[in-house]
């Protein structure tokens, strides 16, 4: 391989990773303008921005548990809609389709944020060896995380053209007590 070819391959790989990080940042920071109600059903009264961003996908929490080792265990379920790849899959020739993030707020109001490719948490989808989120998405923190009293969690998920909303509400990622 020539040096020029190697450099191009490395540059292409780096650019994919940069794109992934920027996409995840956009999903985590994109405010939802226009929601005007906390209706328990999606009835169209959430405003124009909501209608533009909502792709028919909602999520809920199946579990929000702190185990005996003070590890936080969260299971998020898609209650309607599709799911997608959480990372690029060369084997299945697919790019990342969904960006996910979980924030944890402690009793002292400090927060941590956990992305899919965390080095300290186990974060897995339910298909293709954890790389694909079809229905369930699993988060498990390291032991001792909740020694400092974990109080609330905020989950965010989105894809290139929209957001995944919480349990049929107008909110994409509300803070939920543990």
β-strand partners of 159: 98, 162
Q: What is the pLDDT of residue 90?
A: 85
Q: HEC profile for 139-152?
A: EECCCCHHHHCEEE
Per-position pLDDT tens, the chain of length 178? 565 555 555 555 555 665 555 455 545 544 444 343 344 444 457 777 777 777 678 899 999 999 999 999 999 999 876 788 898 888 888 888 889 999 999 999 999 999 998 999 999 999 999 999 999 999 999 999 999 899 999 999 988 778 888 888 888 889 999 9
What's the structural domain count of the chain?
A: 1
As given in the structure block, the two tokens for residue 9 are: 């391959």
Domain that holds residue 36: 3-177
Q: What is the pLDDT of residue 5?
A: 53
Kindly give the residue spans of alpha helices, DSSP state H, lying in the chain. 3-29, 48-53
Rounded Cα distance between 95 and 23, Å, is: 12
As given in the structure block, the two tokens for residue 174 are: 């509300």
Q: What is the pLDDT of residue 31?
A: 44
Give the SS3 label for residue 178: coil
Contact 81, 56 (CB under 8 A): yes
- Going 132 to 136 to 172 to 54, the CA torsion angle's sign is positive
* CA-based nearest residue to 152, from 61, 83, 77: 61
Q: What is the pLDDT of residue 17?
A: 61
- Going 41 to 163 to 145 to 141, the CA torsion angle's sign is positive
């Amino acid at each position: 391989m020539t040096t020029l070819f190697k450099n191009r391959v490395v540059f292409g790989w780096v650019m994919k990773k940069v794109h992934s990080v920027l996409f995840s940042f956009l999903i985590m920071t994109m405010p939802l303008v226009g929601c005007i109600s906390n209706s328990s059903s999606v009835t169209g009264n959430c405003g124009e921005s909501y209608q533009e961003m909502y792709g028919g996908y909602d999520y809920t929490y199946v579990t929000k548990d702190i185990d005996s080792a003070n590890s936080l265990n969260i299971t998020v379920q898609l209650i309607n809609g599709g799911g997608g790849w959480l990372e690029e899959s060369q084997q299945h020739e697919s790019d990342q389709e969904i960006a996910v993030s979980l924030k944890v707020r402690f009793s002292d109001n400090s927060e941590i944020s956990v992305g899919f490719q965390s080095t300290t948490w186990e974060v897995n989808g339910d298909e293709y060896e954890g790389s694909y989120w079809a229905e369930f998405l699993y988060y498990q923190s390291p032991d001792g995380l909740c020694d400092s009293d974990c109080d609330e969690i905020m989950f965010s998920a989105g894809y290139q053209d929209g957001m995944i909303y919480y349990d049929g509400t107008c909110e994409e990622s509300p803070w939920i007590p543990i």
